Amino acid sequence: MVFSQPQQDEGEAPAGPSRAVAPSGLSVTLAADRPMPLDCGAAIGPFVMAYTTRGTLNAARSNAILICHALTGDQFVDGVHPITGKPGWWSLLVGPGRPIDTDRFFVICANVLGGCMGTTGPADIDPATGCAYGLDFPVITISDMVRAQALLLDHLGIDSLFAVLGGSMGAMQALQWAVDYPERVFCAVPIAGAARHSAQNIALHEVGRRAIMADPRWHDGRYAEHGDRPLDGLAVARMAAHITYLSEPALHRKFGRNLQDRQRLGFSFDADFQVESYLRHQGSAFVDRFDANAYLYITRAMDYFDLAATRDGDLPAVFRGADGAGTPVRFCLISFSGDWLFPTRESRAIVHALNMAAANVSFVEIDSDKGHDAFLLEEPAFFAVLAGFLDGQAEHRGIAGP
């Protein structure tokens, strides 16, 4: 299977976010000369990758940081998001003088392969049919996402990243980068991640997928041809997932059993409680910016993630590499104590494997009761750890200070 370049007719008004168009930022056509192989056995190319950059690449081309986004993230790490009008998802972390200091580093963030914010994904038009790919798009993996990002770096003329980092699915990509391209990564910071997706997390994703696929407006994935979108199913999927990103203490602190715009129980199925109203809002806001099929594909990529699968589960062997010499990549693992979706034990298992592979690794568990979402929130201890690690490594690599 070979995919041609999706038509990027910017003059045509996009029919909502289900039409993959980079709303702003940069985009490039990759794999134009020869299709990029995928783990499923197919190949894809040419394909479009949408991305943003911040800061300036230095003369030595040694100060590039690749930020990898999570399931529902995108390339808009900072500034104002072009669709939601809200601050980018890591605005707290990325910018001049911030932990990921754009006065010192050249920051790249790309929408993942299979995404819906400009990079080629299932919502794009299949030139062979003139219709959106839908489920004809190949099932992609974290490794495929990383392979596509490597082509982007080739395009940008960056041989070696100073750092690759990300939270959640972003951590999976950071780990995969360190394993697949150890010579191209100086240091890696997987945050709130895991070496493989757990049975519980696969189960949680499956609920979201069933909610989408049960929506008749999903039309077996061909909703674009029907001028339709499975908004209800996608909203339910988002609501279910959103709970898993938080924590019981955080929900209790934020909402408790407070009632929404009323003094007493309504004895109805309206949103009596603030937490219900909040959750409904999360669901309905999400469908404005995300494509249902992309949600299927990206959750599937996470489910398939198992870093040690190619080594029969031997994670230390993965980090030792083919020659057994051990990885040159310097790692900093970060987890959050209140994260039950990607709990600390998952990061610790990676640290143990890295230790067994005699790798250079730091590990910090941040004390937080904000759940998995802590990696997106104001967590000064997390910011300090990240800034400290990057500064130290940058000095080590001889990257000039800001």
Chain residues 185-204 in contact with its own copies, contact rule CB under 8 A: 196-200, 202-204
Instruction: Confirm or reject binding of residue 267 to its own copies (CB under 8 A).
Output: yes
Pick the closer one to its own copies by CB: 158 or 234.
234
Pick the closer one to its own copies by CB: 118 or 343.
343
Q: What's the CA gap between 212 and 209, in Å, rounded?
A: 5
Chain residues 2-41 in contact with its own copies, contact rule CB under 8 A: 39-41
Instruction: Confirm or reject binding of residue 300 to its own copies (CB under 8 A).
Output: yes
Pick the closer one to its own copies by CB: 180 or 391.
180
Instruction: Confirm or reject binding of residue 213 to its own copies (CB under 8 A).
Output: yes
Instruction: Confirm or reject binding of residue 215 to its own copies (CB under 8 A).
Output: yes
The residue within the footprint of its own copies, chosen from 51, 137, 181, 273 (CB under 8 A), is 273
Is residue 168 annotated as a catalytic residue, yes or no? yes
Instruction: Confirm or reject binding of residue 211 to its own copies (CB under 8 A).
Output: yes
The residue within the footprint of its own copies, chosen from 61, 222, 280, 281 (CB under 8 A), is 280
The least distance separating its own copies from the CB of residue 399, rounded to whole angstroms, comes to 39
The least distance separating its own copies from the CB of residue 287, rounded to whole angstroms, comes to 12
Catalytic-labelled residue, pool 18, 27, 168, 347: 168
Instruction: Confirm or reject binding of residue 261 to its own copies (CB under 8 A).
Output: no
The least distance separating its own copies from the CB of residue 203, rounded to whole angstroms, comes to 5
Is residue 180 annotated as a catalytic residue, yes or no? no
Catalytic-labelled residue, pool 339, 362, 368, 373: 339
Chain residues 341-380 in contact with its own copies, contact rule CB under 8 A: 343
Q: What's the CA gap between 384 and 376, in Å, rounded?
A: 14
Residues binding its own copies: what is the number (CB under 8 A)?
57
The least distance separating its own copies from the CB of residue 119, rounded to whole angstroms, comes to 19
Q: What's the CA gap between 318 and 312, in Å, rounded?
A: 10
Pick the closer one to its own copies by CB: 218 or 382.
218
Entry field: residues in the chain: 402
Chain residues 57-96 in contact with its own copies, contact rule CB under 8 A: none
Instruction: Confirm or reject binding of residue 310 to its own copies (CB under 8 A).
Output: no
Q: What is the 3-state secondary structure (H, E, C) of the chain?
A: CCCCCCCCCCCCCCCHHHCCCCCCCEEEEECCCCCEECCCCCEECCEEEEEEEECCCCCCCCCEEEEECCCCCCCCCCCECCCCCCECCCCCCEECCCCEECCCCEEEEECCCCCCCCCCCCCCEECCCCEECHHHCCCCCHHHHHHHHHHHHHHHCCCCEEEEEEECHHHHHHHHHHHHCHHHEEEEEEECCCCECCHHHHHHHHHHHHHHHHCHHHHHHCCCCCCCCCHHHHHHHHHHHHHHHCCHHHHHHHCCCCECCCCCCCCCCCCCEHHHHHHHHHHHHHCCCCCHHHHHHHHHHHHHCECCHHHCCCHHHHHHCCCCCCCCCEEEEEEECCCCCCCHHHHHHHHHHHHHCCCEEEEEEECCCCCHHHHHCCCHHHHHHHHHHHHHHHHHHCCCCC
Chain residues 111-140 in contact with its own copies, contact rule CB under 8 A: 135, 138-139
Instruction: Confirm or reject binding of residue 263 to its own copies (CB under 8 A).
Output: no
Nearest Cα to Cα of residue 51 among 108, 116, 110: 110
Instruction: Confirm or reject binding of residue 383 to its own copies (CB under 8 A).
Output: no
Question: Measured in Å, how far apart are the chain's first and last C-alpha atoms?
Answer: 47
**What are the backbone angles phi and psi of residue 367, rounded to the nearest 5°?**
-75, 115
The residue within the footprint of its own copies, chosen from 64, 116, 189, 279 (CB under 8 A), is 279
- Candidates 8-16, 24-32, 52-60, 297-305: pick the segment binding its own copies (CB under 8 A): 297-305
Is residue 372 annotated as a catalytic residue, yes or no? yes
Q: What's the CA gap between 31 and 37, in Å, rounded?
A: 10
Active-site residues, by number, are: 168, 339, 372
Contacts with its own copies by CB under 8 A lie at 39-41, 135, 138-139, 196-200, 202-204, 206-207, 209-211, 213-216, 232-233, 235-236, 239-240, 243, 246, 248, 251-252, 254-257, 265, 267-269, 271-273, 275-276, 279-280, 283, 296, 300, 303-304, 306, 340, 343
